[in-house]
Amino acid sequence: MDVSQAQEQQVSEPKGARARTRKLMLETAIALMQQGQTPSVSDVAEAAGVSRATAYRYFPSQAALVHAVVDEGLGPILNWQSASDDPETRVLDLLALTMPRVAEFEATFKAALKLSLEQWAQRRAGTLGAEPPFKRGHRVDLLQMAIAPLKNKLPDAKFQRLAKALSLVYGLEVLIVLKDLWGLEFEETTEVATWAAAALVRAAMAESVA
């Protein structure tokens, strides 16, 4: 082994160890959240057998931890792309990718929603302190990307209105309303969400040619 190879190994090994530790913490956090918990960084450190000091180097706050877990749960959704120029096709394609993933990680996403609601209550009560807020918002970018072909066909106000309307039938809240409140199975939940999303896009497209 020459000097350059030795240097590369010395650099890569710590990086590999860091990646493994981070992966362990994420997997542990997901497991806890899939059980309905909203763990703190300390909770995850203890469950993963990692020191608190190490854990906080990876995730300096509960919000940072949960945000990373949510991104892990979303997985391929965050890299979604569509080759179609048809807005309805794009939206339905995004829904088809998203719904099974949301169902699979339902407990994880509900735990994240719980944290968001708890922080909202703490902020109103003035008890949140210095804890960074947990922010949600991937759906805004994803839905605007899905309806991007309408960007130059609709006034901006109507384009944004469509994106906001679609956000009501996309994501975890769809399961909360249709599954938890209405008692629908996954297939029917998906069918209703797909029908509603298609109807919204068609209505907006009709306005664009009116």
pLDDT tens digits, the chain, 210 residues: what are they? Answer: 333 343 333 333 347 888 999 999 999 999 999 998 999 999 999 999 999 999 999 999 999 999 999 999 999 999 999 999 999 999 999 999 999 999 999 999 999 999 999 999 999 999 988 888 888 779 999 999 999 999 999 999 999 999 999 999 999 999 999 999 999 999 999 999 999 999 999 999 998 776
Co-location of 46 and 93 in the same domain:
no
Co-location of 44 and 86 in the same domain:
no
Kindly give the interhelix angle for 87-104 and 138-146, rounded to the nearest 10 degrees. 150
Global confidence as pTM: 0.85
Structural domain of 152: 63-209
In 3D space, the residue among 73, 56, 70, 61 whose CA is nearest the CA of residue 22 turns out to be 56
Question: Cα separation of 201 and 186, whole Å?
Answer: 22
Residues whose CB is less than 8 angstroms from the CB of residue 139 and which lie 6 or more positions away in sequence, other chains included: 167, 170, 171
- Residue 38: the pLDDT is 92
Co-location of 103 and 167 in the same domain:
yes
- Residue 65: the pLDDT is 95
Looking at 44, 60, 76, the residue that finishes a domain is 60
- Residue 36: the pLDDT is 87
Per-residue three-class SS string for 122-142: HHHHCCCCCCCCCCCCHHHHH
Question: Cα separation of 123 and 135, whole Å?
Answer: 13
When divided into structural domains, the chain yields a total of 2
Q: Which amino acid is at 136?
A: R
- Residue 210: the pLDDT is 62
- Residue 132: the pLDDT is 87
Q: How far is CA 20 from CA 25, 33, 48, in A?
A: 9, 20, 12
Co-location of 1 and 48 in the same domain:
yes
